[in-house]
Amino acid sequence: MDAEPFAKDADITKVAGLMADATRAAMLTTLLDGRALAAGELARAAGVSPPTGSAHLGRLLDGGLVTVVSQGRHRYYLLAGPDVAAALEVLARISPRPAVRSLKGARQARLLRDARTCYDHLAGRAGVDLLDRLVAAGCLLDRGGRYDVPQAGEAMFLRLGVDVPEARRARRKFAPSCLDWTERRPHLGGALGAALTGRLIERGWFERGQVRRALRITDKGRVGLATLL
């Protein structure tokens, strides 16, 4: 008698195939900073011609890994959501690091390790350190893979302009632990992590650099975080 095949919870082959192509992987990784980019920008980032880039984006769109928004005659692409970003981050953690072959490459790697966006929340050393400080200050309670906000923590977030109840109502996980692919330790993800990172950038405590995804803490941010925590 033939053995019965194992039941599959999900068919991962289609998504895995889309991510396995080097051009599409470069485009998806470029979109990990959470900003919407035009097809031409993504083609340049992947090192391909505009027609080739458009063909790859069409496959990513059909596969549900990216979405497109229109502004007038222009179309801009985004990752389809935090689940896609999380999958890319997991793949980054288990993938070999590319060899650094230039001073420019070494500088970019250092900047990304210092502070960067992980889709829409703070990652790198800065993200890991910030989470440690929030937990040590009692603003977050570690629940094993996720975090909760006590009353004192809610007041601190409110001083920053982060609406904790609104983050709880978001259609995504509230405050999960997100394992950082460079530091191998968690930073804060989810709706709360995104809201917090947005406010830190709006206040000028962190600013975007020339290297995509890289962030830089400002002098104002160092003083602000030291005062707040």
Token pair belonging to 183:
């530091």
| pTM for the whole structure | 0.76
102 phi/psi in degrees, rounded to 5: -155, 165
Phi, psi of 203 (to 5 degrees): -80, -10
Domain boundaries, the chain: 13-80, 102-228
CB contact set of 222 (below 8 Å; sequence gap of 6+): none
Closest CA to 50 of 60, 59, 61, 41: 41
Contact by Cβ (8 Å): 205, 224 = yes
Higher pLDDT, 90 or 141: 141
pLDDT 10s digits, 160-190: 999 999 999 998 999 999 888 888 899 999 9
CA 146 from centre of chain: 17
Q: Are 220 and 205 in contact (CB under 8 A)?
A: yes
pLDDT of res. 2: 47
Average pLDDT of the chain? Answer: 89
Look at residue 154 in the predicted model and tell me its pLDDT.
Answer: 93
Per residue in 187-208, pLDDT tens?
A: 999 999 999 999 999 999 999 8
Residue 100: pLDDT band with limits 50, 70, 90 = low
Q: Which of 110-119, 128-137, 198-207 has the lowest mean pLDDT?
A: 110-119
Provide the token pair at 54: 């458009």
CATH of region 13-80: 1.10.10.10
Q: For residue 91, give the nearest of 181, 167, 11 by alpha carbon.
A: 181
Residue 202 DSSP class: H
DSSP state of 96: P
Residue 50 structure tokens = 């505009």
Question: Cα–Cα distance between 19 and 23 in angstroms, integer?
Answer: 9
pLDDT class for 5, splitting at 50, 70, 90?
low
Rounded Cα gap, residues 173 and 186, in angstroms: 15
Average of per-residue pLDDT across 136-152: 93
Please, which residues have CB within 8 angstroms of residue 211's CB and are 6 or more apart in sequence?
107, 108, 111, 112
